[in-house]
Amino acid sequence: MGERLLVAAVFVTALVAVFWLALVRTIHQGTLTVPDLTGSDVEEARQMAHDRGLDMEIVRPGVFSEAVPPGSVAVQEPLPGFHVKSGATVSVRLSLGNERVAVPDVLGDSLQGATAVLDQEGLRPGRRATVRGQAAGDSVLATAPPPGVEVAPGTEVDLLLNETPRQALWVMPSFLALSRSTVERFCRQHRFRVGQVHEVAYPGLPPGTVLRQYPPAGSPLSRSDIIALWVSQ
């Protein structure tokens, strides 16, 4: 009884195998196997497809790939090993090489704004160097690498930052021999700041005549500077 069951099982298994092979042969009869075009350049891939009786089309845009050189086939559809009819088309996308990101132009942006833009582009703020008084306010003066240069994602971008606003400068005029009232009126009109006024005994000059000043005449002068005067008593 056991031998009959064993023989029956073997017979059924063989029958299923024969049926399956016949089915696969029927399905694949008159079809072609898609070759593996990955890594081939365009001419080589087109020739491989042609030799199998297939057409090839390039679909754009390409794709970034670290494994496949730029300009070679990176992906294909249908995949290698698929069975297709003669004359079918294999669609391929070419490698663009490693993914690259152009450094954005953040010149003139604040540190916070520049950091946000770099983050959106997949880049990171790197080292920071600061200067003072080179721009109107808190702003980026330069980047390294400079804007437009293509780099790998995650690259650090160094920033040159202006910390304090640039001040408007004037040339300090000479107040010597002028009266104190004249100098103070001039400074009020031009929004300059007069600080301490030192009275010095100086016979022979009218009281309030300017004898000395700081900053001296010809020096750079900003509205934040404080002017000191020495006048006759």
Does the pTM of the predicted model rise above 0.85? no
Dihedral through CA 34, CA 39, CA 43, CA 46, nearest 10? 10
- Range name among 125-129, 132-136, 183-187 with the lowest pLDDT average: 132-136
- Range name among 21-25, 41-45, 121-125, 195-199 with the lowest pLDDT average: 21-25
Q: Region of 43 please: left (phi>0), alpha (psi -120 to 50) or beta.
A: alpha
Which pLDDT tens digit goes with each residue over 33-62?
999 999 999 999 999 999 999 999 999 999
Instruction: State which amino acid sits at residue 32.
Output: L
pLDDT band at residue 166 under the 50/70/90 scheme: confident
Give the separation between CA 61 and CA 172, rounded to whole angstroms: 63
- Range name among 4-8, 83-87, 195-199 with the lowest pLDDT average: 4-8
The residue with greater pLDDT, 144 or 132, is: 144
230 within 8 A of 198, measured Cβ to Cβ: yes
Which pLDDT tens digit goes with each residue over 89-110?
999 999 998 888 999 999 999 9
Fold held by 170-232? Trypsin Inhibitor V; Chain A (3.30.10)
Pull the structure tokens for residue 216. 């001296």
Nearest partner of 68 among 45, 98, 92, judged by Cα: 98
Query: What DSSP assignment string belongs to 45-74?
Result: HHHHHHHTT-EEEE-SS-B--SSS-TTSEE
List the chain domain ranges.
2-94, 101-162, 170-232
pLDDT band at residue 23 under the 50/70/90 scheme: very low
Fold held by 101-162? Trypsin Inhibitor V; Chain A (3.30.10)
Q: What is the pLDDT of residue 22?
A: 46
- Report the CATH architecture of 2-94: 2-Layer Sandwich (3.30)
